[in-house]
Copies of this chain bind each other. A is one copy, B any other.
Amino acid sequence: MTQKNLDDLSLRLLQFARDRDWQQFHSPKNLSMALTAEAGELLEHFQWLREEQSLSLSPEKKEQVALEMADILIYLLRLSERLDIDLLDAAYRKMAINAERYPADKVRGDARRAEEYD
């Protein structure tokens, strides 16, 4: 098996879709829906848990959660491919924006959103 990394995974997902003639369904619009539906399934695992409970899942539950997260990553990568977006690069870019928007000294211990600071 080749080394596990985002680019390899993305290529395999593209091949998977092509083998099934699923590219026709994978418009960015549709993929954004599928991604959000998976995020909803992730939510469902946590919705009745106290925050503390969400930190100590059973092994069985943890694996279910891991597979929901996998689905979200899978759709993120499909979407990146369809839109020709470098996902990892975008994430580093966004981190730099966040670092400017939320200076550590200003927001320490405070989770309010940026627009609420001014």
Contact = CB atoms under 8 A, between A and B. Distances in A.
Interface of A: 4-6, 9, 12-13, 16, 19-22, 24-25, 27-30, 32-55, 57, 62, 65-67, 69-74, 76, 79-80, 82-83, 85, 87-95, 97-99, 102, 104, 107-109, 111-113
One complex includes copies of this chain to the number of: 4
Given A35-B39, A65-B83, A76-B76, 16 more contacts: A5-B88, A16-B95, A20-B107, A20-B109, A24-B109, A29-B53, A36-B39, A36-B42, A38-B40, A44-B113, A66-B87, A67-B93, A70-B91, A70-B94, A73-B90, A74-B91
Contacts of A32: 33, 39, 42-43, 45-46, 54
